Structure 1
Amino acid sequence: MHAPTQVKQPPVVYFTLFLVGLSLLVFVLHKLDDLFLPLIYAILLSLLLMPIVTRLEKWRWPRMLSIATAILLVVIGIALLFGFFGSQIIGLRSELPLIQSKLVVLFDQTQQQLAQRFHFQPMSHEQVIDSSLAALQKQSSKYLGSTLNTTLGVLSTVTLVPIYIFCFLYYRDHLRQFMFRFVEADKRTTVLHTVDNIQHVVQGYMTGLLTVIVVVSVMNAVGLLALGVKYAIFFAVFASVLAVIPYIGIIVGSIIPALITYVETGSLTHGLAVIGVFMVVQFISDNILAPLITASKVSLNPLTAIIALILGAQLWGTPGMILSVPLSAVIKVVLDANRVTEPWGFLLGDVGDGETTQKDPSDDRGFVAKLWDQVRGKRPPLAPEPKLPPMRNPRHAAVKS
């Protein structure tokens, strides 16, 4: 009896199989978005709530009560946020007729100026409204169907996510034991270290993101209040929450208050100043606050973030855009844990990840000192070089022997 000889396939075959498997994975993820989106949100929120649950359990709280308390805190926070938005939107809605009348006047004035300069027949606002209504009637069924689908999707996600969070946190020990059954005993330490790194990265990103949202909201509110913008606090918080979507959320969040300010004041400079406030705050957030507060927990280069953003939007729309950065960070941690895939993790990482030196872990300077170094562009102190033992002379060792 002879063992069968192993046929070595050319690299093209393995590459083709990889592309086929990747295409099937993307197809399944896209078709089963109603299943995977609530699960992914629940996993991220479970990792975020894990420290609170473990702290309550250390205080001898029952596990079910600890998990219920953590979920209740999240629900209360979201309810307060939606209550604040609802009250501000109701107040803004009462001024919509006045804003609409001013917008019509500005529209007519702008058309008259453009008509005199470029010599064309201006349209009346009645014609614009009639053409808009006609286009809206043609697309009403499409918009109605998409709105109903979105509403049902949001309701199902809101209902399922707390249930998934409770199950993940309650059965977390059981899930870990299930995962270890696929791993050999001598490799369980490495797997446990990788899982802890993923949890650390996600927790650092989520807590840092919430901190950045609060700080950016305060800075936006100060700038808008200085310009005398109506509902400045609402627009400040609204733009900060939309900043969760990288590179796009801040643009959407700044257009609405800029347009309302332009309609209210009739000054284009005033409207552009509102956009300038958001751009300056976003620049400070991206280049100073986010790297300092999150402490580079999610160390992704900008190219990776942009590509992940586009892929997330194509796969799952707006929810995919929100999940693109944390999921990319998790993928980077998994790639870094394996020597074979470590170069791909290095490719996704920031430039600083390629340095052989590390930050000094004993650096206990305060937040202000670190912020000042970040503003000046000064690099943080590096860890001291390890002291190597003196090399023995081989001749002396031979004589001694």
Structure 2
Amino acid sequence: MTPLPPTPKQPTELAFPLYVKVPLILLGLALLVLTLHLAADLIFPLLFAAIFAIMLHPVEQWLLRHRVPPLLAIGLTVVLGVVSLLGLLYFIYVESMHLGAQLPMFKAKLLQATQQFTQWLNVRFGLTNQKLMSYVNEASSRAAGLLGGTLTAVSGLLVVATLIPVYIFLLFLYQRRLVDFLTQVFSGGQRRNQGVAEVLSQSKAAIQSYMVGLLIEGGIVAVLNVVGLLALGIPYALLLGVLGAVLNLIPYIGGLIAIALPVLMAFVAKPGYGHALGVVAVYMVIQFIDNHFLIPRIVASKIKVNALVAIVGVLVGNAIGGVAGMFLALPIIAILKIVFDRIESLRPWGQLLGDEEATDRRRTNRTASSDSV
């Protein structure tokens, strides 16, 4: 009777004490942030392309189910996505050109309002015109520097954005190879691993649902913005409403900028302060509807990220990649949470990023109210 071959020993995981594990984690995070900052021009277009590819994947699958050749299906999908994005950018460009034609009138009205405000401060607080002008010049120089940096970042983003359609096409073309690569890497070299494949499939489905929900929420916010501005008679309501919805994709910070633009337009284009206060009131109501009804039911039902992590993520994204980093921050955090929630050893990190307690409280309150009825 031949003896059985010895069973291979399972590799044992090294256990480090907490005072060693924490510095290693912090060092890894620091190296990751430094890598993202140094290679932002290479990594960020790939991240944008990956998110767009996941969003457009149902379109490609629909074309394949209707017997469209694979290369043609991929090409049509990429063209559809590019045309949709270019349509939005063209609309913003045309409306901005019309707005630029009115800049001399806005500049004169703003100068008049500044002079009136300066006189009021001089009478009310005793501030001299020389001090006020020094404050105004300092603020103007800072604003000009900030605007120049923003325009530089946006122009650089537009140049790099030309690579995104190419990346999307290649990601579609090599999607099976990429999935096999990820499966083998995270399954210890095994050819097939149902656990890893299931995590990838569930993550892709959740990301698709989350991004589609984000687009639906942005469309509803754009309609509410436009309707509210038209009701107040604010010029260029369509442009300001759409820009407000786009900026609203940046959590918390984008909402403040979205309010500032139409308030400035109302202050310059309308007499008095009533219209500007009306814009603030309308946008506060829209933000209340968005935060308490649209996001919990459309976006947060797909993936829940708590407010602290969202704000810190946006600030970190801005420090790493500027405007592009701010737009990518929340989708990347949501993707990380999706992956963390589906891997046993990483679930504590998913709980740190998530906001399930608030959702559970809302669900408990709804249940209690329905029981009382």
Is the TM-score greater than 0.5?
yes
Q: Say whether 1:155 aligns with 2:162.
A: no
Kindly provide the amino acid, as one letter, of the partner of residue 178 in structure 1.
Answer: F
Q: Can you list the C-alpha shifts for 1:220-245, whole angstroms capped at 9, x where unaligned?
A: 11111111111111111111111010
**Bigger shift: residues 196-205 or 207-216:** 196-205
Work out the CA distance in 2 between the residues paired with 1:42 and 1:270.
Answer: 41
CA gap of 1:7–1:294, structure 2 versus 1, over 3 A, is: closer
CA gap of 1:121–1:352, structure 2 versus 1, over 3 A, is: closer
Alignment match, 1:70? 77
- Counterpart contact for 1:300–1:348, Cα < 8 Å: yes
Alignment match, 1:220? 225
Alignment match, 1:178? 181
Work out the CA distance in 2 between the residues paired with 1:22 and 1:80.
Answer: 38
Work out the CA distance in 2 between the residues paired with 1:11 and 1:247.
Answer: 35
SS in 2 for 1:317: helix
Structure 1 residue aligned with 2:35, among 22, 28, 36? Answer: 28
- More RCO (CA 8 Å, sep 6+): 2
TM-score (structure 1 length as normaliser): 0.79
Work out the CA distance in 2 between the residues paired with 1:281 and 1:146.
Answer: 27
- Counterpart contact for 1:346–1:353, Cα < 8 Å: no
Deviation at 1:68, TM superposition (A): 1.1
**Bigger shift: residues 247-256 or 172-181:** 172-181
**Percent of pairs with identical residues:** 32
Alignment match, 1:47? 54
SS in 2 for 1:296: coil
| Equivalences for residues 1-400 of structure 1 within 5 A | 10-122=17-129, 131=137, 135=141, 148=152, 151-156=155-160, 158-182=161-185, 183=187, 185=190, 188-294=193-299, 296-352=301-357, 378-379=366-367
- Counterpart contact for 2:153–2:322, Cα < 8 Å: no
- Counterpart contact for 1:346–1:354, Cα < 8 Å: no
- Counterpart contact for 1:201–1:329, Cα < 8 Å: no
Work out the CA distance in 2 between the residues paired with 1:349 and 1:97.
Answer: 48
- Counterpart contact for 1:244–1:322, Cα < 8 Å: yes
Kindly provide the amino acid, as one letter, of the partner of residue 65 in structure 2.
Answer: K
TM-score (structure 2 length as normaliser): 0.85
Deviation at 1:80, TM superposition (A): 1.5
Deviation at 1:52, TM superposition (A): 0.5
Which protein is bigger by CA-based radius of gyration? 1
Deviation at 1:143, TM superposition (A): 8.0
Work out the CA distance in 1 between the residues paired with 2:197 and 2:368.
Answer: 30
Kindly provide the amino acid, as one letter, of the partner of residue 156 in structure 2.
Answer: L
Alignment match, 1:395? none
- Counterpart contact for 2:154–2:323, Cα < 8 Å: no
SS in 1 for 2:366: coil
Deviation at 1:25, TM superposition (A): 2.0
SS in 1 for 2:305: coil
Deviation at 1:122, TM superposition (A): 2.5
Kindly provide the amino acid, as one letter, of the partner of residue 98 in structure 2.
Answer: G
- Counterpart contact for 1:309–1:321, Cα < 8 Å: yes
Deviation at 1:90, TM superposition (A): 1.7
Kindly tell me the number of residue pairs found equivalent between the two proteins. 356
Kindly provide the amino acid, as one letter, of the partner of residue 91 in structure 2.
Answer: F
Kindly provide the amino acid, as one letter, of the partner of residue 272 in structure 2.
Answer: S
Deviation at 1:381, TM superposition (A): 12
Query: Unaligned 5+ residue runs, structure 2?
Result: 1-12
Structure with more of its chain in helix, by fraction: 2
Deviation at 1:120, TM superposition (A): 3.0
Q: Can you list the C-alpha shifts for 1:75-104, whole angstroms capped at 9, x where unaligned?
A: 111222122112211221222111212222
Work out the CA distance in 2 between the residues paired with 1:354 and 1:264.
Answer: 42
Alignment match, 1:391? none
Deviation at 1:130, TM superposition (A): 10
Deviation at 1:339, TM superposition (A): 2.1
